[in-house]
Amino acid sequence: MSVITAAPIEICPSFQPCPGITHAVFDFDGTLSLIRHGWPNIMLTMFLEMLPPRADEDPAALRNELMHEMLSFNGRQTIHQMVAFVERVRRRGGNPREPQYYLSEYTLRLERDIARRSRQIRDGASPDNFVVPGGRALIERLLSHGIKLYILSATLEPHVRQEATLLELAHYFEGRIHGGHEEQPPFSKGAVFDRILREDGIPGTQLVSFGDGPVELQHTKKLGGLAVAVASDEREMGSGKIHQLKRSQLIAAGADLVIPDYQCEKELVTLLLGEN
């Protein structure tokens, strides 16, 4: 049974502190950056518009089912969600378009929000308004402990680098920003994790990762590292509330700790490193 601390940090039964952590890997969208905030609702709205209806279908149940499937692919490139949607349309007797068509439409809708938020920052809004609460403080605290930081995102790398720079986060990572690509072989977060460990000559037990998708947490646990699930309720960002569907998926993926954001950053680092 998991317990809740006052931080609030949910400590899962698998958790053990690791004073030897030397490397921290962050997912980007929803884990550090809020520039793409609200993407699940954009995708869900599009899917509901384009999905062939069924008679007497419970709309709430359908929304929950779609959301569950969408979030299960979080951490992988977005085309995977579109492939799953195509199969769903086909199962309903529809005649779906190619996955790339749906990806292009979704991207067009999402980019309107990205452009608006980017413009706000360029016009003088604080970048921290678009960073997960406490994120910058956590990064600086980890750096003060000599921990080497990485960003690893399924979003295309040029976009990640551009948005990290806009948020004034890029300099903390000293170029160690890895993102998705459209080349062959397909992008793999697992391959990047393996390369990080190989190039720096460290075991996975010196690794901690922070993510809001199952993929990065699963890879971290496979390597023997600590996995911190960032299960923010994006409808009330900064409220300290956990998104229960994200939480259940991330715990199933092997999370050691679950947090809503990083406003507990001091307690979180103390816990991770086993400090008194």
116 and 139, same domain (yes or no): no
Q: Are residues 28 and 158 in the same domain?
A: yes
* Positive or negative torsion for Cα 234, 235, 238, 243: negative
Q: Find the mean pLDDT for residues 58-82.
A: 92
Q: Tell me which residue has tokens 């903390």.
A: 172
Residues 96-113 have pLDDT tens digits of 999 999 999 999 999 999
**269 pLDDT above the threshold of 70:** yes
| CA atoms of 269 and 256, how far apart (whole Å) | 13
How many domains, the chain? 2
For residues 66 and 153, membership in a common domain is answered with no
* Residue finishing a domain among 89, 122, 155: 122
Q: What is the DSSP letter of 186?
A: P
pLDDT in tens, 153-176: 989 999 999 999 999 999 999 999
Are residues 7 and 69 part of one domain?
Answer: no
| Among candidate residues 96, 122, 148, the one where a domain is terminated | 122
**Pair 162, 69 in one domain:** no
CATH of the domain at 154: 3.40.50.1000
Show the domain range for 231. Answer: 3-34+131-273
pTM: 0.89
Indicate if 70 and 53 belong to the same structural domain: yes
69 and 12, same structural domain?
Answer: no
142, HSE (Cβ side, Cα atoms, 13 Å): 27
